[in-house]
Amino acid sequence: MLRTAFTTKLYVTVLVALVLGAVLGLVAPDVGAAMQPLGDGFIALIRMLVGPVIFCTVVTGIASAGALTSMGRVGVKALVYFEVITTIALIIGLVVMNVVRPGDGVHAVPGEIQVSGLAEQYVTKGEEQHWYDFLVNIIPASVVGAFVDGNVLQVLLVSVLFAIAVAMLGERGAPVARAIERVGEVVFGIVKLVMYLAPIGAFGAMAYTTGRFGAATLSSLGAFVGLFWLTGLVFCLVVLGVVARLCGIRVLRLYRYFKDELLITLGTANYEAVMPQLIAKLERLGCPKPIVGLVVPSGYAFNSDGVCLYMGFAGLYIAQAFDIQLSLAQQLGLLAVFLITSKGGAGIAGAGFVLLAATLSTTGTIPVAGIMLIFGVDRFMSMARGLISLCGQMLASIVVSVWERAFDRERALAELSGKPSPEVARA
């Protein structure tokens, strides 16, 4: 039974790989750290396919959606949901940090902290970021450049424009849409092949994390990391749980359905690596392809619940560590800046850390050098950020589908119960 599960169930294989990677990293840190290329290679393979997946999904979805006005309506509803849920995440982060205050007692001195190494690169990127950058950077230098750079928003823009042009052709555009749909099937076939390497990628990434950072790093900031993980768990179970119930489904069943993607995200600390699988599963779950094709890619830029929660946590932790007392007005101002800067993470390596540096340099209230206080545990925070954001991504398409009265709840309940309807079984 166990042997069969190990060879046929991806989540079992990935879970075993995560445990083995963690053990290797703790027992032989140098060897574990040397496994980094395995994790990076797997992520690179998936990122290679993200552009084609978005393009094929968006084009075939919009081209088959009928009236273009309906897609505009879907886009507006998606953005409204993104803004509401990310604002809640930010507020929760600020409230928890004001109540628990884990940074008190550190008494750090800004002038004594030196920013160097990889952290210095992140700070430099952050200082070069502006609140309007994510709007300007949506436009690629060229159509091909959007796919070469792998910028999710740029690929989405090109895909939407192409899809609208195909839809405007009417019957003459139908063969183009069908051809792209066939290409999409091939791309998802490649995704399926790459996912066989997920256990290797998860093993390498987890071995690197524990080998490079390990238990010693966690011990100094354990309270901060533990509080963030606990708050993220509560957010996913309570806040997203309420949203799921309003949609007529149980959130724990939803998480169980996406257990493969959750475990891969846990191991790689990168939830972009599961975007293709997320799109495919949401369609099987009863969300229309046009909605999934638009909501999921845009959600990776505008619906990063984990990044928003993290920014509230990290910003106030650094302020508390420097003994900086922020008034309510200052915290609300910080919240307003976070709401803008948190939307610029698509396509940025170490997005949460870069955006935090960008926000602190923009406000000028909290020294940017303070990011060094939490840099050592950022990998562990990144795991949580990815998991929380992925949980939010699971629900976004469902919420918009319900809002559009296009969600097949009966089909979803059958899928979540492990007994797919005949339509799903044939798909």
Q: Using alpha carbons, select from 43, 133, 82, 47 the residue that is nearest to residue 294.
A: 82
Q: What is the pLDDT of residue 6?
A: 45
Q: What is the pLDDT of residue 150?
A: 65
What is the pLDDT averaged over residues 60-74?
Answer: 67
Residue 344 has pLDDT above 60, yes or no: no
How far is 60 from 255, CA to CA, in rounded Å?
28
Q: What is the pLDDT of residue 1?
A: 45
What is the pLDDT averaged over residues 406-420?
Answer: 83
Q: Using alpha carbons, select from 217, 100, 374, 83 the residue that is nearest to residue 366.
A: 374
Structure-token pair, residue 298? 């845009």
Each residue of 223-234: pLDDT tens digit?
A: 888 889 999 999
Q: What is the pLDDT of residue 352?
A: 61
Q: Using alpha carbons, select from 57, 127, 117, 30 the residue that is nearest to residue 278.
A: 57
Q: What is the pLDDT of residue 255?
A: 92
Q: What letter represents residue 316's amino acid? A: L
CB proximity list for 362: less than 8 A, separation 6 or greater? 130, 131, 337, 341
Please provide the CATH number assigned to the domain covering 2-426. 1.10.3860.10
What is the pLDDT averaged over residues 120-126?
Answer: 52
User: For the chain, which residues make up each domain, given as ranges?
Assistant: 2-426
Asked if residue 369 lies in contact with residue 122, where contact means CB atoms within 8 angstroms, the answer is: no
Percent of the chain with pLDDT over 90: 8
pTM higher than 0.85 for the full model? no
Range name among 90-94, 267-271, 275-279, 318-322 with the lowest pLDDT average: 267-271
Could you tell me how many helices (H) and strands (E) the chain has, helices first? Answer: 25, 0
Per-residue pLDDT band for 254 (boundaries 50, 70, 90) equals: very high
Residue with tokens 């490649």: 190
Distances (CA, A) of 303 to 21, 90, 201: 30, 12, 25
Q: What is the mean pLDDT of the chain?
A: 77
Q: What is the pLDDT of residue 243?
A: 93
Q: What is the pLDDT of residue 349?
A: 45
